[in-house]
């Protein structure tokens, strides 16, 4: 007897647009398999190959097997390294939380 499908979701966010795809997948589906089934790349063609992946905020590999209720997250890269930004601001005598006047 085949196992019942499990509910999962796949999420990706750009600055102006976020997408959450909820779907049911066969038991034993991997993170990569859920991303493929979600067709999220058609909605966000700019997702870089090899983007970091997570489940509920924890980094995972594409071959991780999903459990019912898992939320797959595709992470986009940071526009700048926060450490470099802090160093630059420190040289200018400013901080990341400082308001411009």
DSSP letters, 29-95, are -BHHHHHHHHTHHHH-TTPPTT--EEETTEEE-TTPBP-TT-EEEEPPPPSS-HHHHHHHHHHTT--
Say how far apart CA 10 and CA 22 lie, in whole Å. Answer: 7
Q: Domain ranges for the chain, please list them.
A: 6-76
The pTM of this model reads 0.77
Question: What does R_g of the chain's alpha carbons equal in angstroms?
Answer: 18
pLDDT digits 0-9 by tens, 35-92: 999 999 999 998 988 999 999 999 999 999 999 999 999 998 776 777 888 888 888 8
The CATH number assigned to the domain with range 6-76 reads 3.10.20.30
């Amino acid at each position: 007897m085949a196992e019942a499908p499990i509910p999962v979701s796949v999420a990706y966010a750009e600055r102006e647009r976020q997408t959450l795809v909820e779907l049911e997948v066969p038991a034993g589906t991997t993170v990569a398999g859920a991303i493929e089934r979600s067709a999220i790349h058609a909605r966000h063609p700019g997702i870089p190959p090899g983007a970091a992946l997570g489940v509920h905020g924890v980094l995972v590999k594409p071959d991780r097997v999903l459990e019912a209720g898992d939320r797959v997250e595709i992470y986009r890269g940071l526009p700048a390294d926060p450490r470099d930004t802090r160093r630059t601001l420190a040289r200018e005598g400013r901080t990341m939380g400082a308001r411009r006047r």
